[in-house]
Amino acid sequence: MKPVKVGLLGLGTVGGGTAVVLQRNAEEIARRVGRSIIVDHIATLDLGRVDELGLNPSIRATQQASDVVNDPEIDIVIELIGGYSPAKELVLEAIENGKHVVTANKALIAMHGTEIFAKAQEKGVIVAFEAAVAGGIPIIKAMREGLAGNQIEWLAGIINGTGNFILTEMRDKGRAFDDVLAEAQALGYAEADPTFDVEGIDAAHKLSILSSLAYGIPLQFEKTYTEGISKITAEDVENASELGYRIKHLGIARRTDRGIEQRVHPTMIPEKQLIANVDGVMNAVLVQGDAVGPTLYYGAGAGDEPTASAVVADIVDVARALTSEPDNRVPHLAFQSEAIADIAILDISEIETAFYLRICVQDQSGVLADMTKILADNGINIEAITQKDVNQNQVNIIILTHVVREGNMNQAITSLEQLEAVTGEVSRIRVESLS
C-alpha cells in the first residue's frame, strides 16, 4: 500500500517535534497503521530548520504555506502555525482541496471550528485536533470515544501550564505573583505578553472545545466566563492552605437543569483531591461520567515532543480512516452534526458554588456583625470565619461560605464594599469540592 504523504505548516517547537517523532518512530507507526507515513513537504520561514533537526534531506521545503496546501501529492496537511490568520484560510483551502487536516491550534478551533467542521463534512474529510487541548494528554479521544457511553455530568481541568506553574511557586515558596510571572517568562513558560495565559483566555479556548465534546453543543468561546489569576496574592494562597485547600486555575463545565456552566477562574479545591496535587507546568482534566464515575487524565500540557505525541496520534487516526466512508467516522465534536443541541450557556451570575472571601476592615466593634448581617440578608451561610491582623488598625476577615448563587454573592459584595469600615475591594475565590 502506498505511503501516506504529510505536509507540515510550521517547523517551530511543535512542528519540529512532530517531524522528528514521525521520522524517528516511522517503523513503529507503520506497524500500527499498516502503511508508512512520511513527511513530504514542509512550509517554514527558516529553511535551515530542516537540516538543524536532522530531517531527511529529500523532504521538500518552502517558505510559502500555500505551496503545501495546494500540493496534489499531499494527503494530510498539519497546521502548526497557530493563531487565527492565516491558519484559518490555509485550513479551509486544504479542506477545499480534499485534504485531511490535523491541527494543534486551540484558538482556531474554539473561534472558527463550527465553520471548519461544516466545510470538512461537506468535502468528506477529517479535521483532527487532539493536541489543541492539554498537549500530550489524549483527552479529546477519551471524550469522543472512551467515554462515549456516558452522560458527562461535569469536568474540571488544569489546562494552562503557565498559570499552574505560577500558583505552585506561590504556594511552595510564598512568592508574589509578579515575581513568579517574571521567572515564567525567563524560563519560556510565559510569553512576553502573558495575557492569554494568566487571564484565562488560553484555558477558555480549550474549555469551550471540551464543553462541546461533553454536551454536544456548538463551540461558544465567547460565552465562556473568564477570570485570571493576576489578583491572587500570596496571602490568599497561604489562607487556602490553612483551610485545607489549594488554589488552581480551573476550567469547569457542568450540565445543570437550567443549562451549561462554562467558566474559567481561580478555584479553591480540597487538598486531598488528586487534581489539587497537579503542580508546575503539568496539566490534568477530571471528568465525571454517570456510568464510569470520576476519571483523571494527567500529563504534559505543552512542549515539543509531548504535543507532537498528540499530533502524530491524530495523523495515525486519519491514516487509518482514509479508506472509511465519512458517515462511519468519529464525529468531529463527538456527536453527529444533526444532533448538536443549542443548550443555553449559563451566565456566571446563575452558577452556584461556595466562596472564599478576604475582606480588609478597620479594627472596630460592630463591623463583623454588619458583615454577617449582609451575608445573611443575601441568603449566604458561613462555614468558617477567621481574623488575621494586617497592622495596628486593620484586620483581614477570612470567610468560607456554603454553596450560594453567584448573583447573591455579587449583591452581598457590593453591600460589603459600601461599609465604611471596609477598606478596598473584597477578594473572592470560588470553592469547588469536585465530588
Q: How many CB atoms are closer than 10 A to CB 124?
A: 13
DSSP SS3 for 211: helix
Place of cell 491550534: 105
One-letter amino acid at 164 equals N
Integer Rg of the chain from CA: 24
Residues near 346 by beta carbon (within 8 Å), at least 6 away in sequence: 256, 258, 259, 260, 261, 262
Distance of CA 246 to the CA centre of its chain: 19
Alpha helices in 191-303 (DSSP H): 195-198, 201-215, 234-242
CA distances from 21 to 67, 129, 356, 374 (A): 23, 17, 46, 60
Give CA–CA dist 2/405, Å, rounded.
59
Is residue 99 annotated as part of the catalytic site, yes or no?
no
Give CA–CA dist 174/328, Å, rounded.
53
Of 99, 206, 223, 248, which one is the catalytic site residue?
A: 206
Query: Could you tell me the three cell numbers for 43?
Result: 512550509
263, 348 contact by CB (below 8 A):
yes
231, 427 contact by CB (below 8 A):
yes
9, 77 contact by CB (below 8 A):
yes
145, 236 contact by CB (below 8 A):
no
DSSP SS3 for 122: helix
Alpha helices in 25-145 (DSSP H): 26-33, 49-52, 65-69, 87-96, 106-123, 139-141
Ramachandran class of 401: left when φ > 0, alpha when ψ lies in -120 to 50, beta otherwise: beta
300, 280 contact by CB (below 8 A):
no
CA distances from 9 to 14, 41, 48, 80 (A): 11, 9, 15, 6
| Residues tagged active-site | 206
